[in-house]
Amino acid sequence: MTSTSLKCGPSPRETAFFSQPAIVVALATLCCLLWGSSYPAIKSGYVLLGIGQEDVPSKLVFAGYRFVLAGLGVAVAAKLLGKQVALVRADQLRQVTLLGLAQTSLQYVFFYIGLAYTTGVRASILNATTTFFSVLLAHFLYQNDRLSARKALGCLLGLGGVLVVNADSGALGGAFHWQGEGFIVLAAFVLSAASIYGKRVSQHMDAMAMTAWQLSIGGLVLLAAGYAAGGSLGQLSVVSGALLGYLALLSAVAFTLWSLLLKHNRVGFVSMFAFLVPLFGAMLSALYLREDILKWNNLAALVLVCAGVVLVTHAGGGGAHGKR
């Protein structure tokens, strides 16, 4: 068995279905809605599980269970779609291990800690900087993906959004805090860099199989680190367990659908919908966490960041876009 066994050619029926414009719009919007809902869901999980702001080890355990379950979910979905999930070479295991350590373990250490020190509205806006980091990194790494005037304008709008969202002062949700907003931006940078490596790995491995492995491996590392540092899952109940299951399910479903859309459509067309992630994240955080989305700087930042994402992705970009 060779590495090509991890690839699975699309059937004409599958391509015809997932390339329909109405289907693309509906499924891309659903993915962005799911990713956006993770912001209030994670913060609600901290409350339901009784995980305090300073309890970093338990946050890692919480994240670890989510991504191990999500990885298993993607693996099941891949098998149902007739894909070969098993790794057949040692170098493939090394690649998905490195990807899991970066894209899941390291990224979510920053993200889960940062989210505890800022609001869901601000986090969803700031995490959209992943798209802009991806564009800037691609400019230096790929000769055929240089920074155009349109992409540069999009990045400037995104930077403007980051500055505007931190323009006020006050307690939580006010001034910039490195452990809060700073960690969210660091998580966005790690995701953009890891996604570029993931794109290279996916050239020789089915994207869903790669995702299943990296989520599972990254989740196991988070679990091990969290338990080793004295963390626990907290006050697990029917409600908190259901929320954990939802977080795992949204990752599995969104990753699976998004990979299928990218497989059958132009990357720029699909990625253009990425502006909906911060939009849904901010709106759902305002709705479920009762955060103030109507503050002038939150609204202005949301408009700037969403406009920036549309500009850089419509220009043929794509890449990572703040998937949660």
CB 262 within 8 A of CB 28: no
Query: Is residue 36 situated within a structural domain?
Result: yes
Examine residue 322 and state whether it is found in any structural domain, yes or no: no
Alpha-carbon span 221 to 68, nearest angstrom = 10
Helices 183-201 & 107-116 angle (0-180, nearest 10) = 150
Buried b (16+ CB within 10 A) or exposed e, 218-248: bbbbbbebbbeeebbbbeeeeebeebbebbb
Query: Exposed e or buried b for every residue in 82-97, given b needs 16+ CB within 10 A?
Result: ebbbebeeeebeebbe
Tokens of 118: 């800022």
- Evaluate whether residue 8 is within a structural domain: no
Interatomic CA distance for residues 24 and 4, integer angstroms: 28
80 class by beta-carbon count within 10 Å (0-12 exposed, 13-18 middle, 19+ buried): exposed
Q: Count of domains in the chain?
A: 1
pTM over 0.95: no
pLDDT at 15: 73
Contacts of 151 by beta carbon, 8 Å cutoff, 6+ apart: 135, 311, 312, 315, 317
* Any domain includes 4: no
Give pLDDT, residue 102: 94
Task: Find all residues with CB under 8 Å of 127, minimum gap 6, and list them.
Answer: 111, 184, 185, 187, 188, 277, 278, 281, 322, 324
pLDDT of 5 = 40
Q: What is the pLDDT of residue 30?
A: 94
Q: Report mean pLDDT in 10-residue bins for the chain, 324 residues.
A: 44 76 90 94 94 93 96 91 79 91 94 92 88 83 77 86 71 64 92 85 83 94 96 91 95 86 76 85 90 83 87 62 56
Give the pLDDT score at 1.
34
pLDDT at 207: 82
Q: Could you give the CA distance from residue 189 to residue 319 in angstroms, rounded to a whole number?
A: 12
Q: Measure the CA angle with vertex 273, ends 142 and 285; round to 5°.
A: 115
> Residues of 150-171 as b/e, b for ≥16 C-beta within 10 angstroms?
ebbebbebbebbbebbbeeeee
Predicted pLDDT of residue 12: 72
Neighbouring C-beta atoms of residue 180, cutoff 10 Å: 23
Q: Measure Cα distances from 148 to 133, 134, 142, 162, 291 in Å.
A: 14, 14, 13, 21, 36
Question: 43: which residues sit within 8 A by CB, 6+ positions away?
Answer: 115, 116, 120, 285, 289
Examine residue 324 and state whether it is found in any structural domain, yes or no.
no
Q: Is residue 58 part of a domain?
A: yes
Identify whether 5 is part of a domain.
Answer: no
Please report the pLDDT score of residue 323 as a whole number. Answer: 58
Domain membership of residue 80 as a residue range = 20-314
